[in-house]
């Protein structure tokens, strides 16, 4: 049997690996996606004072520390049975909206943008952010850097730091927003809204205006039929900071809707010996292996999943764009993995509009941003929608608030099974009779990248191109072919 190894699948060596095994006919027998990294937070957080969890768990990911920080902070509210003042919830959501703006902007322009803006058939040397800037204009490039940076300014004004903010406390946030900060935040938010609208227009012109791209988005090779998960508000609209978790089946019908505290009834995780990452699945459907469909518990939690589980967006421009996407792609749910990019931009518009609403909210500068907890701490669950999916934190403490047990379901992990399936599907579509098409490098990468996987965090970094090294070995171990993406 021949084996094909793609290592790394991210831009980082050793943080993701694909092994493809061919059968005697030279077709794909199986493909394994491996995550070779573990740090052990669920264990070493035991014995820590629970109020330190927002500081400690934000170090799970330096790219999306805000997601862990806020999920941990919400978990503290639950552990201490304390309800933060309205202003504190708004301040947290404002920080969170700024974070989504920064993160989605980075993903579109730096990571996935080159695939679309330069085109899937463009020379590889051109498929990076610098070429994107050359094509769309230097002004746009400067604007990307400016808007990402200003969203981080908002995060730093609230959370003290640009990376690993520190404002989360049980019952609120560590300090209020001043009027001069609010004024600056409103200016930034206004500019972010315009920038988000511009980004969607760019996507319209470059991607949706081109039949080749639309065909790619709707092609079967990138469609995976799964359940979807995401957080919704009281009117079933997309919500990042808080709400109930809704799951729809592959036909788009509501399968479950539950508060975060009930997550254990809905999610279970499988362990495999070849990877450090577990495979979550819907407990009530069950694990049927790496397959899609109604009988398989595999689900996705991505920007597309969030739109699929919701009935709309809570802000006006995002709502218009939401309607347009489903009209264009033929109704809900959309199974095409590549439509995730479109969904992400609709979320970008929503997050920017929400930032603006919150920065104009008269209550946002209310100095009362903390309720000191008085109840005995015991146990709590907190969840947010991280950019890459629903993120769950669950802590148990003793009566002094010292951590006894921790469970975490990290955003990208939700998509572990679906990512593995997308990779196998792309490999099966491209490898026949032992012939490995050069196109597999790009096609596998596009399937993978749509999830914006955060195994390696720095998949967000410049210049938007993953090095792939595909080695094909004969059964005796000699190298038959080596395809490299430079």
Provide, rounded to whole angstroms, the least separation between the CB of residue 461 and another protein: 4
Q: How far apart are CA 105 and CA 113, in angstroms?
A: 10
DSSP conformation class of 361: -
Report the residue number, 39 or 201, with the smaller CB distance to another protein: 39
Angle at 298 between CA 455 and CA 394, to 5 degrees: 60
Report the residue number, 333 or 377, with the smaller CB distance to another protein: 377
Helix H or strand E encompassing 28: strand 28-34
**Coil, helix or strand at residue 33:** strand
Report the residue number, 263 or 322, with the smaller CB distance to another protein: 263
Report the residue number, 40 or 331, with the smaller CB distance to another protein: 40
DSSP conformation class of 336: B
Picking from 436, 479, 449, 486, the residue whose alpha carbon sits closest to that of residue 16 is: 449
Provide, rounded to whole angstroms, the least separation between the CB of residue 70 and another protein: 14
Quick check: 101 and 120 in contact, CB under 8 A?
no
Provide, rounded to whole angstroms, the least separation between the CB of residue 238 and another protein: 24
Sequence-distant (6+) residues with CB within 8 A of 210 are none
For 184-233, give the secondary structure using H, E and C.
Answer: HHHHHHHHHHHHHHHHHHHHHHHHHCCHHHHHHHHCHHHECCCEEEEEEC
Report the residue number, 271 or 331, with the smaller CB distance to another protein: 271
Provide, rounded to whole angstroms, the least separation between the CB of residue 460 and another protein: 8
Provide, rounded to whole angstroms, the least separation between the CB of residue 103 and another protein: 11
The Cα-based distances of 158 to 72, 174, 372 in angstroms read: 16, 9, 19
Report the residue number, 119 or 463, with the smaller CB distance to another protein: 463
Q: How far apart are CA 482 and CA 472, in angstroms?
A: 6
Provide, rounded to whole angstroms, the least separation between the CB of residue 130 and another protein: 9
Q: How far apart are CA 486 and CA 484, in angstroms?
A: 6
Q: How far apart are CA 412 and CA 420, in angstroms?
A: 12
Report the residue number, 169 or 189, with the smaller CB distance to another protein: 169
Q: How far apart are CA 327 and CA 96, in angstroms?
A: 29
Report the residue number, 287 or 342, with the smaller CB distance to another protein: 287
Provide, rounded to whole angstroms, the least separation between the CB of residue 464 and another protein: 10
Q: Please count the other Cβ atoms lying within 10 Å of the Cβ belonging to residue 173.
A: 25
Provide, rounded to whole angstroms, the least separation between the CB of residue 164 and another protein: 6
Q: Two tokens at 130? A: 């610098």
Q: How far, in whole angstroms, is CA 98 from its chain's centroid?
A: 15
Q: What is the DSSP string of 151-174?
A: HHHHHHHHHS-SSS---EETTEES
Provide, rounded to whole angstroms, the least separation between the CB of residue 334 and another protein: 28
Report the residue number, 171 or 389, with the smaller CB distance to another protein: 171
Furthest C-alpha separation in the chain:
71
Provide, rounded to whole angstroms, the least separation between the CB of residue 81 and another protein: 12
Picking from 484, 475, 478, the residue whose alpha carbon sits closest to that of residue 29 is: 475
Q: How far apart are CA 348 and CA 359, in angstroms?
A: 16
Report the residue number, 4 or 356, with the smaller CB distance to another protein: 4
Provide, rounded to whole angstroms, the least separation between the CB of residue 172 and another protein: 9
Report the residue number, 165 or 333, with the smaller CB distance to another protein: 165
Quick check: 350 and 385 in contact, CB under 8 A?
no
């Amino acid at each position: 049997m021949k084996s094909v190894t793609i290592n790394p699948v991210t831009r980082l060596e050793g943080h993701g690996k694909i092994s493809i095994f061919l059968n005697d006919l030279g077709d794909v027998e199986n493909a394994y996606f491996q995550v070779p990294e573990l740090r052990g937070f669920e264990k070493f957080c035991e014995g820590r004072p629970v109020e330190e969890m927002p500081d400690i768990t934000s170090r799970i990911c330096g790219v999306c520390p805000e997601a862990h920080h806020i999920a941990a902070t919400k978990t503290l509210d639950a552990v201490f049975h304390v309800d933060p003042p309205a202003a504190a919830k708004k301040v947290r959501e404002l920080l969170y909206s700024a974070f989504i703006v920064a993160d989605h902007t980075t993903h579109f322009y730096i990571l996935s943008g080159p695939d679309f803006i330069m085109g899937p058939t463009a020379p590889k040397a051109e498929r990076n952010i610098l070429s994107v800037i050359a094509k769309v204009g230097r002004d746009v490039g400067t604007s990307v850097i400016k808007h990402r940076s200003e969203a981080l300014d908002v995060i730093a004004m609230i959370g003290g730091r640009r990376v690993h903010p520190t404002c989360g406390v049980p019952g609120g946030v560590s300090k209020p927003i001043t009027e001069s900060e609010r004024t600056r935040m409103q200016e930034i938010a206004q500019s972010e809204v315009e920038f988000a609208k511009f980004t969607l227009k760019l996507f319209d012109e470059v991607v949706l205006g081109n039949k080749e791209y639309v065909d790619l988005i709707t092609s079967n090779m990138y469609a995976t039929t799964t359940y979807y998960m995401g957080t919704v508000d009281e009117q079933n609209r997309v919500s990042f900071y808080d709400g109930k978790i809704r799951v729809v089946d592959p036909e788009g019908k509501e399968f479950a809707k539950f508060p975060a505290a009930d997550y254990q009834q809905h999610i279970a995780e499988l362990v495999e010996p070849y990877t450090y990452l577990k495979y979550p699945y819907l407990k009530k459907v069950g694990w049927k292996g790496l397959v899609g469909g109604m009988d398989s518990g595999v689900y996705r939690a991505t920007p597309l999943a969030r739109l699929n589980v919701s009935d709309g967006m809570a802000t006006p421009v995002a709502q218009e764009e939401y309607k347009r996407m489903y009209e264009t792609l033929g109704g809900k749910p959309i199974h095409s993995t590549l439509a995730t990019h479109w969904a992400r931009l609709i979320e970008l518009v929503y997050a920017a509009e929400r930032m603006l609403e919150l920065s104009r909210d008269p209550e946002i500068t209310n100095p009362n941003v903390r309720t000191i907890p008085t109840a005995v701490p015991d146990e709590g669950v907190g969840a947010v929608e991280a950019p890459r999916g629903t993120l769950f934190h669950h802590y148990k403490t003793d009566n002094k608030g010292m951590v006894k047990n921790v469970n975490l379901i990290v955003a990208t992990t939700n998509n572990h099974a679906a990512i593995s399936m997308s990779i196998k599907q792309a490999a099966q579509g491209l490898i026949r009779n032992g012939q490995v098409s050069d196109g597999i490098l790009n096609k596998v990468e596009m399937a993978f990248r749509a999830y914006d996987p955060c195994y390696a965090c720095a998949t967000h970094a410049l210049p938007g191109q993953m090095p792939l090294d595909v080695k094909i070995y004969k059964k005796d171990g000699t190298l038959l072919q080596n395809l490299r993406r430079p």
